[in-house]
């Protein structure tokens, strides 16, 4: 019970509309990698993004990239970030809600209520 309370206190220290510190660090790393990528249009919401010798297809409508990082983690990969910046979008808005402060607080609130039974 004390551990849950301590975790909730830690979560409350996150930025108001922020995400978990680990997810924000990962996003920042992806942002740095995206700076060396090159992007070209491939249709309405499709983009071809090259990172060195690698080439990936990003579909912003479906929130998918052929590298599958975005699909698996819920955090936009460097290729998706580059495509979003090309389209004048804000990539941080596409981090999955699961990593938000609101989601984490909801989890701890629910667990605390169960622990009281």
- Residue 32 has a pLDDT of 97
- Residue 1 has a pLDDT of 73
Per-residue model confidence as pLDDT tens digits over 45-93? 799 999 999 999 999 999 999 999 999 999 999 999 999 999 999 999 9
Q: Tell which residue, 33, 22, 18, 24, has the closest CA to residue 85.
A: 33
CA distance 114 to 117: 6
44 vs 46, higher pLDDT: 46
Q: Is the pLDDT of residue 43 over 90?
A: no
pTM of the model: 0.85
CA distance 2 to 96: 28
What tokens were used for 61?
Answer: 């409508």
Where are the chain's structural domains?
1-18+100-117, 20-97
21 pLDDT band (50/70/90 cuts)? very high
105 pLDDT band (50/70/90 cuts)? confident
């Amino acid at each position: 019970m004390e551990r849950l309370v301590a975790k909730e206190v830690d979560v409350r220290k996150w930025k108001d509309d922020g995400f978990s510190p680990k997810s924000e660090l990962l996003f920042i790393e992806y942002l740095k990698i995206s700076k060396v990528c090159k992007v070209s249009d491939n249709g309405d919401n499709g983009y071809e993004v090259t990172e060195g010798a690698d080439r990936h297809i990003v579909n912003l409508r479906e929130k998918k990239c052929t590298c599958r990082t975005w699909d698996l983690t819920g955090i936009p990969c460097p290729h998706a970030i580059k495509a979003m910046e090309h389209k004048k979008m804000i990539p941080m808005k596409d981090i999955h809600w699961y990593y938000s402060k609101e989601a984490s607080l909801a989890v701890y609130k629910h667990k605390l209520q169960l622990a009281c039974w």
